[in-house]
Amino acid sequence: MGLQNILFIIAFIAATALFTINAKKIIRNIHLGRKLNRTDRKAERWKLMARVALGQSKMVVKPVAGFLHILVYVGFVIINLEVLEIILDGILGTHRLFAPFLGSFYDFLIASFEFLALGVLVAVVIFYIRRNIIYIKRFRQNELNGWPRSDANLILLIEVLLMSAFLTMNAADQVLQNRGVEHYIHAGSFPVSSVITGLFSSWSDVSLIAYERFTWWFHILGIFAFLNYLPYSKHFHIILAFPNVWYSNLDKKGRFSNMAAVTNEVNLMMDPSAVPIEIEGPVKFGAKDIQDLTWKNLLDAYTCTECGRCTSECPANQTGKLLSPRAIMMKTRDRMEEVGKNIDVNKGEFKDDGKSLLHDYISPEELWACTTCNACVEACPVNIDPLSIIVDLRRQLVMEESAPPASLSAMFTNVENNGAPWQFSPADRLNWKDE
């Protein structure tokens, strides 16, 4: 085993360990939420995940963006199947380890990888133009200012660099194969990278081997770095989209969840002999901070791709209201990250920092702008549910803080006194027909 193999093994172990540590922190943060059972109707959930997460069915509602996303998604995933070979080559000191076993099929695979890499490059360039040059409103809104916009562009740059390294590595490899240089066995078909092999025709064998090794290391270390960048990026949805869709709410949209404590009171008023629903722990109405939301709400926040489809479909946002469903998810994630760091600093326990998701991150004005139309839920490509968070925060405002908007307070009073939201007695309700 040579020095390169040892260095590769160290890099591989370090990258895997760091990713595991950060992934565990995210899992810990998600588990800060309340319990929620989402394991029913398993067959339906598997079908939904296959259609929405794997099949990208909701992405293609916007055909151009949907097609480009599928191209990047399929290309990046399939090309990285080669990572297994690269890892084994790095550990064992071999070169194109799978070629002797796969024969002509190996040539087909490498050729497919090259066409997909070219497709990814084209799609990423178009994505950059859409985000930064063409005016598309959902990519220019205020919640993307700063890190979110930089994060999106950085990911695009990383994808360009990784695909470019892959293709130039193959080009250099092909020249070395044709020259019969030792260790570079004849393997693979290179329909795309062969276009640029002329750039290396005057290079010496030593220089070409050095360049091929550089691009090989750049490609694999870039993948390791990308893997460990994911937990800090919105692109962690690459991993979380699948479980997030599997745990989707399968009830019909518009059906709100009932609070057991309120249900008990209603049942006992209607029927004093009714058996109350058992409730564990102290009763709290609604949610003020992330610990009051469900774990699925928190998983939603980490899965958010910040694509803005929810906000672009939101009627409140379209009419200039402060509400942005995308911002709701981003702020929930930001607060969750802050709480997680607090726990890390305080050795596993959360120390009250005097902040909360409601008020410090999300304002009542945002919440009351929501029409509860479910357009955001319908639009999300990975079945995120911003409305669930909005409703729970509203419940906190009304039932814990007694702070509904004045218009709602008047409506509540009218319903209590008149049995209807209007400010006149039930006996006068039909007076309009006499006018």
Chain segment 370-418, per-residue pLDDT in tens? 999 999 999 999 999 999 999 999 999 999 998 988 888 888 888 888 8
Across the range 320-335, mean pLDDT stands at 96
pLDDT value at position 280?
A: 73
Q: Are 375 and 315 in contact (CB under 8 A)?
A: yes
pLDDT value at position 93?
A: 87
pLDDT value at position 9?
A: 93
List, in order, residues 6 or more apart from 76 with CB less than 8 Å away.
120, 159
Q: Are 323 and 310 in contact (CB under 8 A)?
A: no
pLDDT value at position 409?
A: 86
How much is the mean pLDDT over the chain?
A: 91
Q: How confident is the model at residue 341 (pLDDT cuts 50, 70, 90)?
A: very high
More confident residue, 78 or 225: 225
Across the range 324-344, mean pLDDT stands at 96
Hey, is 45 helix, strand or coil? helix
pLDDT value at position 435?
A: 60
Across the range 192-218, mean pLDDT stands at 92
CA nearest to 389, candidates 399, 376, 402: 376
List, in order, residues 6 or more apart from 375 with CB less than 8 Å away.
310, 313, 314, 315
User: So what CATH class is 260-418?
Assistant: mainly alpha
As a whole number of angstroms, the distance between CA 328 and CA 111 comes to 43
Across the range 27-51, mean pLDDT stands at 95
List, in order, residues 6 or more apart from 417 with CB less than 8 Å away.
none
Q: Which residue bears the tokens 């702070």?
A: 403
Q: Which two tokens stand for residue 186?
A: 């004849």
Spell out the alpha helix ranges (H) of 230-259: 237-246
List, in order, residues 6 or more apart from 39 with CB less than 8 Å away.
none
Q: How confident is the model at residue 22 (pLDDT cuts 50, 70, 90)?
A: very high
Q: Is the per-residue pLDDT at 434 higher than 80?
A: no
CA nearest to 240, candidates 311, 151, 350, 333: 333
Q: How confident is the model at residue 185 (pLDDT cuts 50, 70, 90)?
A: confident
Q: Determine the straight-line distance between the first and last CA of the chain, rounded to whole angstroms.
A: 97
pLDDT value at position 423?
A: 80
Q: How many CB atoms lie under 10 A from the CB of residue 160? A: 15
Q: Is the per-residue pLDDT at 283 higher than 80?
A: no
Structure pTM? Answer: 0.89
More confident residue, 340 or 188: 340
As a whole number of angstroms, the distance between CA 189 and CA 200 comes to 18
Q: Is the per-residue pLDDT at 52 higher than 70?
A: yes
Give Cα separations from 404 to 44, 72, 165, 365, 416 (angstroms): 38, 46, 57, 11, 15
Q: How confident is the model at residue 78 (pLDDT cuts 50, 70, 90)?
A: confident
In sequence order, the β-bridge partners of residue 358 are 362
Of 93-102, 228-237, 290-299, 402-411, the range with the highest mean pLDDT is: 290-299
Q: Are 194 and 178 in contact (CB under 8 A)?
A: no
pLDDT value at position 225?
A: 94
Across the range 80-92, mean pLDDT stands at 86
More confident residue, 317 or 253: 317
pLDDT value at position 287?
A: 94
Across the range 19-47, mean pLDDT stands at 95
Q: How confident is the model at residue 1 (pLDDT cuts 50, 70, 90)?
A: low
Across the range 272-281, mean pLDDT stands at 78
